[in-house]
Amino acid sequence: MPRLPRNYISRKNIKMPRLPRNYIAEVLSLGGDLRSIAKELKTTKKQISAWEIGLGKPPKRLYEKVRNISRRTTYKYLRQAGYPSAKASSFRRIPHPEAAADVDWLNMVVDTLYNDWNFSYRAYMANPEAWIAAHPNKKIPTEISRDEVKRRIEQGIKNGKSKEEIENY
């Protein structure tokens, strides 16, 4: 194997420039509003809007407050989607696109399981007499609500189930 010259720069030695996170834009993309951010930071909506689009950045004294607003918003967003509180707490530091992708995944799984689990209920509701005739020894199916599906998924996540196990439930 040939020897590399002394001035060779390896990938390990190169530091990539770190892009600063725009916490205000993240909060707004997850459903926050300018008024509540401005009220909490005790500044104007115009100033918050300027920080969001990149015209300057918040002063250092407000950095921690802005970051905490972002973390709280991410936590609330994940909790509303159906994640258990412990999982939402561990995810509150992730960037908002990842949180949004996880919520989209969870909503897709809820829709899929809701439709799968209510298949026989919909068949019964379409024609009760025919369904009873075709399934004489079975109980009449009942509908499982989306909230119940979310609750069961949340319980599975709490119990340590992986995404694949939840999808194949």
Q: Which residues lie closer than 8 Å to 51 by C-beta, 6 or more apart?
A: 22, 24, 57, 58
Query: What is the C-alpha separation between 103 and 75, in angstroms, rounded?
Result: 11
Is the pTM value of this prediction over 0.75? no
| 103 in Cβ contact with 77 (< 8 Å) | yes
Query: Does 4 fall in a domain?
Result: no
Query: Does 2 fall in a domain?
Result: no
The number of domains in the chain is 1
**Planar angle of CA 54, 97, 113, nearest 5 degrees:** 155
Query: Does 13 fall in a domain?
Result: no
User: What pLDDT does residue 163 have?
Assistant: 81
Query: Does 70 fall in a domain?
Result: yes
Q: What is the mean pLDDT, run by run of 10 residues, along the chain of 169 residues?
A: 58 56 81 87 88 81 87 85 81 71 84 89 89 87 88 85 81
User: What pLDDT does residue 120 have?
Assistant: 87
Query: Does 81 fall in a domain?
Result: yes
CA dihedral 153, 155, 160, 163 (to 10 degrees): 0
User: What pLDDT does residue 5 have?
Assistant: 60
Query: Does 3 fall in a domain?
Result: no
User: What pLDDT does residue 162 have?
Assistant: 83
| 44 in Cβ contact with 29 (< 8 Å) | no
Note down the domain range covering 92.
19-167
User: What pLDDT does residue 22 have?
Assistant: 79
Nearest to 141 by CA among 156, 127, 155: 127
User: What pLDDT does residue 63 have?
Assistant: 85
User: What pLDDT does residue 79 have?
Assistant: 84
Query: Does 7 fall in a domain?
Result: no
Query: Does 117 fall in a domain?
Result: yes
